[in-house]
Amino acid sequence: MNFHLMKAKKKKPVVSARKKILIVDDHPMMRDGLAALVAAQPDLIVCGQAADDREAMRAVETGRPDLVLMDISLPGRSGLEAIKDLLPIQPGLAVLVISMHDESLYAERALRAGARGYVMKQEGGKRIMEAMRAVLAGKVYVSEKISARIMESFTGRRDEATASPVELLTDREFEVFQHIGRGRSTKEIAAVLHLSAKTVEVHRVNMKAKLKLSTSPELVHYAVRWVEAQASSGC
């Protein structure tokens, strides 16, 4: 009896579709650096780049990314506001904020806006990739310090005496507050943020109430000192 050995057909490996990444940052060098980091991964691909919130909205509509890498400091509407604009376009969209700003100032705001993670740019490529992987896997990514702080907030154990009054401001008020601290007038702030001067004045009134300040000069002085303090601390 003759037996013929049949060569088993090799099964072709199943290649899963690469996850699409959208990079939103107003600095071309930063976008290029993140694009190179993504390109080095066999299962990821850059589906688009954007320099502001409007470009980001168009890129989400056309590219349908799996993950958006979002900077906070964008011309016009901030990254926080941009996140809120993008989520209705693609519900469930994963957003990871990659920012130069101190996480203690922005991480919780970013999560409340709808982001799933926050990592500082100076952490380097390895940490940024770790954050991307975590967010793509459906996890929330923040530092241990911020995680502990968030837990304290939920359990009501955060010491109110150590909390900054600035934390009481809404994201938009916080944005206006920073512009005031940089010496910009109501008209200039309105132009930068694409708001009416009247809206900016309403934010000023609300900020004075929350910060327990009586006059506009007091608000300006407070904001300038706050911005200077952040700059001196490297935030």
Tell me how far apart the alpha carbons of residues 99 and 157 are, in angstroms, rounded to a whole number.
28
Q: What is the pLDDT of residue 222?
A: 92
**Mean pLDDT, to the nearest integer, of 77-103?**
91
Confidence of residue 5 (pLDDT cuts 50, 70, 90): very low
Confidence of residue 75 (pLDDT cuts 50, 70, 90): confident
Q: Partners of 141 in the beta sheet?
A: 117
Location of structure tokens 């939920």: 154
Q: Any idea which of 10-14, 55-59, 69-73, 160-164 has the lowest mean pLDDT?
A: 10-14
Residue 3 has pLDDT above 50, yes or no: no
Confidence of residue 233 (pLDDT cuts 50, 70, 90): low
Location of structure tokens 């793509």: 136
Evaluate if pTM is beyond 0.85: no
Q: Partners of 50 in the beta sheet?
A: 24
Closest C-alpha among 116, 117, 119, 114 to residue 102: 119
Structure tokens at 54: 């409007």
Tell me how far apart the alpha carbons of residues 77 and 84 are, in angstroms, rounded to a whole number.
11
* Tens of pLDDT, residues 25-69: 999 999 999 999 999 999 999 999 999 999 999 999 999 999 999
**3-state class of 208 per DSSP?**
helix
Tell me how far apart the alpha carbons of residues 74 and 205 are, in angstroms, rounded to a whole number.
25
